[in-house]
Amino acid sequence: MTHNGERQHYVLALLRKLFEHLPPGATLGLLYDIACQLKRSMLNWGFLSEIFPRMIFAVSVFHVYGHQWPCQIIYHPRKCLGFGLSDGEGCERFWSALRKLIPSLRVSGHYQRLFILDLHIKYLECSSQDQLGSWLARRWRKSVLSKSTALAAVKESHIPQDVLREQWRLQVLAQTRPAPRQSKNKASQAISTILALDESIKAEHAAVSRLQ
């Protein structure tokens, strides 16, 4: 890395390297803070076109609420098939586990900093492996509870699931429709239309008065 910040070419390089280690038929669910922009860039410029069809894009839960509503409808992981209860905040949790090292590493030498980071990351890896069983059990219980709660809510609504899915499809179509083009003369045109209608109403009133 040669620049600060989340540059798209770093993400593209990581994706290319990752796919080198995945089976040829594997599909990747990508949770990224600006996955919407990344997908648009890949479509517009043909980046990684050979592996693009094998990717599903979603925005991580913590960041998606800062995006516009049409973007949330399409890229929220809770609204995308295949992501389940994943939130895409694994890197944030990893950084949180390293944050206590910040004060001491600020005054450390380069190689000492690398050594301490490497040692602590290996410690976190071993700790995670030791707790993997309990983590899986906890996640499984949470998933079962979430599913049963959602199914109970659907059952209480007395609305068939097919109807709910169709209504959701129509909502997505309606709320992701392109906004009307802006026009500098639109306000003037609206005022002219209102004045014309007002004159028409006055003329109709006058005609009614003559008939009476």
pLDDT digits (tens, 9 = 90+) for 10-19: 999 999 999 9
Question: Which domain, by its residues, includes 51?
Answer: 1-88
In angstroms, the CA 68 to CA 114 distance is 40
- Is 42 a member of any domain? yes
- Cα-based angle 17, 19, 23 (whole degrees, multiple of 5): 145
Residue 9 resides in a domain = yes
CA 38, CA 33: separation in Å to the nearest integer?
10
User: Span 114-137, mean pLDDT?
Assistant: 94
Max distance between CA atoms of the chain, in angstroms, equals 100
**Is 55 a domain residue?**
yes
Angle at which helix 90-98 crosses helix 110-130, to 10 degrees, equals 120
Q: What is the pLDDT of residue 3?
A: 66
The structural domain count of the chain equals: 1
**Residues 151-162: what's their mean pLDDT?**
94
Whole-number average pLDDT of the chain: 90
pLDDT for the residue 129: 93
Task: Indicate whether 200 belongs to any domain.
Answer: no
At 1 the pLDDT is 58
Answer whether residue 100 is part of any domain.
no
